């Protein structure tokens, strides 16, 4: 079974990805397992370009299949901010949440709509080929924090279909519903397709 490196140093993200893909790869590595640190500047204004750049650079450096993701939260009342800058919207999760809540302090509930977006790339260096998967989750930015699970903006993201905040979801619920979970489940389905698993046999 093929090994894979997950292009992240975020332990929460690694746990989520392994929970969904645990039967699809042999050993999972994260960037913290690698002796050499590879710097990838995510300087594109587009999620897709950033995720492809990250997956390819890390996959080529270590010559191993690589999964990378680029995700963000887009808030309608803020004209789509923080979007591509979601992970750089403050010094840490607490700071980023405080900033977002402050910017929305006078915005009523019905105008606090938001969407999580995730692009996941699987890059296979020996084939020099990338596969892209997308997932999204619509909801609202709450007035306060709720829940103790998850990471990032989860404590302030309300999921209407579950009547819960993302940080109140179980791991199973989040991996089924979240933007990243949906993208990763699409990747999992792809990995189990016959044309991907089985070598092509020519007919005579």
Structure tokens at 41: 């500047």
Closest CA to 148 of 170, 117, 132, 122: 170
Evaluated on CA atoms 191, 193, 194, 200, the torsion sign reads: negative
CB 181 within 8 A of CB 20: yes
DSSP state of 1: -
For 102-189, strand residue ranges (E) read 113-124, 129-141, 157-159, 164-165
Strand, coil or helix: 30 = strand
Catalytic site residue from 65, 69, 70, 154: 70
Q: Any catalytic annotation for residue 69? A: no
Which residues does the annotation mark as catalytic?
Answer: 70
């Amino acid at each position: 079974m093929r090994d894979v490196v997950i292009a992240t140093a975020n332990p929460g993200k690694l746990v989520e990805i392994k929970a969904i893909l645990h039967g699809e790869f042999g050993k999972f590595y994260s960037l913290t397992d690698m002796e050499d640190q590879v710097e990838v500047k995510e300087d594109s204004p587009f999620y897709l370009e950033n995720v492809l750049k990250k997956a390819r650079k890390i996959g080529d450096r270590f010559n191993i299949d690589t999964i990378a993701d680029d995700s963000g939260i887009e808030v309608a009342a803020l004209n789509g901010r923080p979007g591509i800058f979601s992970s750089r919207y403050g010094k840490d999760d607490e700071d980023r949440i405080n900033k977002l809540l402050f910017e929305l302090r006078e915005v009523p509930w019905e105008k606090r709509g938001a969407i999580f977006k995730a692009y996941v790339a699987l890059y296979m260096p020996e084939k020099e080929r990338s596969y892209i998967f997308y997932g999204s989750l619509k909801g609202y930015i709450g007035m306060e924090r709720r829940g103790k699970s998850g990471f990032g903006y989860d404590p302030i993201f309300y999921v209407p279909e579950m009547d819960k905040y993302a940080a109140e979801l179980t791991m199973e619920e989040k991996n089924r519903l979240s933007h990243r979970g949906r993208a990763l489940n699409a990747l999992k389905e792809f990995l189990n397709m016959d044309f991907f698993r089985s070598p092509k046999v020519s007919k005579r």
